[in-house]
Amino acid sequence: MKVTSFVGVDVSKNTLDVAICHEANPEKFSHQQFNNTLAGCKKMLTWLKKQSPDLGESYFTIEHTGWYTLLLCGFLQEEQLTFGLYAPLHLKRSLGLTRGKTDKIDAQRLAYYAFLHRHALKTTQLPSATLLKLKNLFAFRDRLVKTQASLKVTISDLRATAKLIDNKFIIKESEKQLKLVEHQVKHTEKQIQTTVQEDKEMQKHYQLLRSVPGIGLVTAAALILTTSNFTAFSDSRKFASYCGVAPFEHRSGTSFRGKTRISQYANKRVKALLTNGANSAIQHDEEIKAYYQRKIDEGKPKMVVINAVRVKIINRAFATVRRGTDFVKMRQYPKAA
């Protein structure tokens, strides 16, 4: 794709700050602010056409600010315009040393970032409606689980002081609320399963993932979400790096020999689910159990081995989906003579 105009959009809850520069003069910017509404997006497009008549050769750089970006991205996709969503940390590190911060300056920096990386720009596609619905359900379940844990702690603390304070009413009402939240968690999980079944390809991947030891309903849904139904990552190694479980070397020259370790930049929610899955696989999968015990006997630290099991689960998940058949437990078959 040929790109001659670079548009940076700083998105907030109520406004869109838009800056545009051109390949011929990348340090000269035009700036305008619009409402973060459908009408504002249309006005933005009208203004941009005056700045760059051929918007087909424009690239929109947008900092990912969650749901605030959804309306704009949906509008750009409908207009068949090219855009890229970038993580705030990625942009911050890529722009080098900066001083000062306003919405206008941020928009200009986004446009200039696109110019600097014009030969390696990536196009973002919004997830399907089913994936967006699944994402909302998954986030809702997370909030319910946090509420459930909080209520359990509260009830336990109230019971611990029951001899000093009459907490009967609070405990009774909290227990009612806890039962309601527990019911909502189960009902939400059923809705997640129902939503997965609305998409044949997603349903197929979900069933394949569930065949892998250590992957349950929640982990399977998380893998589908974070990989955009296994389209966002080309291989398991890249996804392991995204989850923060891939080990990296740390060395320089002949004098520095650091330990090989995992990175702290990670999707910690998925990482935590993989940890739970690894512990489950160690208990219930004979092959993983034997591997874990062998490494422990060799003197490997426990968390190093658990991390290796997390990587195994990711590799199995990707291999199962790519192959299109259920996972097969090899230890159930006798070795060939």
- Domain with residue 59: its CATH number is 3.30.420.10
Instruction: Report pLDDT for 337.
Output: 43
The answer on 94 and 135 residing in a single domain is no
Instruction: Report pLDDT for 198.
Output: 92
Instruction: Report pLDDT for 254.
Output: 66
Instruction: Report pLDDT for 94.
Output: 84
Q: How far apart are CA 331 and CA 241, in angstroms?
A: 28
Closest CA to 212 of 201, 199, 202, 223: 223
Instruction: Say if 121 falls within a structural domain.
Output: no
Helix (H) or strand (E) run with residue 330 in it: none
In order of 14, 125, 130, 191, the CA distances from 70 in angstroms are 13, 11, 15, 23
The answer on 325 and 254 residing in a single domain is yes
The answer on 145 and 73 residing in a single domain is no
Residue 299: how many CB atoms within 10 A of its CB?
6
The answer on 9 and 102 residing in a single domain is yes
The answer on 112 and 146 residing in a single domain is no
Instruction: Tell me if 97 sits within 8 A of 8, measured CB to CB.
Output: no
Instruction: Report pLDDT for 29.
Output: 94
Instruction: Report pLDDT for 334.
Output: 53
Q: Can you give the pTM of this predicted structure?
A: 0.83
Q: What amino acid is encoded at 144 in this protein?
A: L
Instruction: Tell me if 233 sits within 8 A of 227, measured CB to CB.
Output: yes
Binned average pLDDT, 10 residues per bin, the chain of 337 residues: 90 94 92 95 94 88 90 94 90 81 92 92 90 93 96 93 89 95 96 94 95 94 94 91 83 70 83 94 92 94 93 95 88 52
Instruction: Say if 306 falls within a structural domain.
Output: yes
Instruction: Say if 303 falls within a structural domain.
Output: yes
The sign one gets for the Cα dihedral 328, 330, 331, 337 is positive
Instruction: Report pLDDT for 53.
Output: 79
In DSSP notation, 212-246 reads STT--HHHHHHHHHHTTTTTS-SSHHHHHHHHT-S
The answer on 51 and 21 residing in a single domain is yes
Give the pLDDT confidence of 281-310 residue by residue, as tens digits: 999 999 999 999 999 999 999 999 999 999
Instruction: Report pLDDT for 335.
Output: 53
Give me the number of domains the chain comprises.
3
Among residues 88, 116, 144, the one where a domain terminates is 116
Structural domain boundaries, residue 160: 129-198
Q: Do strands 256-262 and 247-252 pair parallel, antiparallel, or not at all (unpaired)?
A: antiparallel
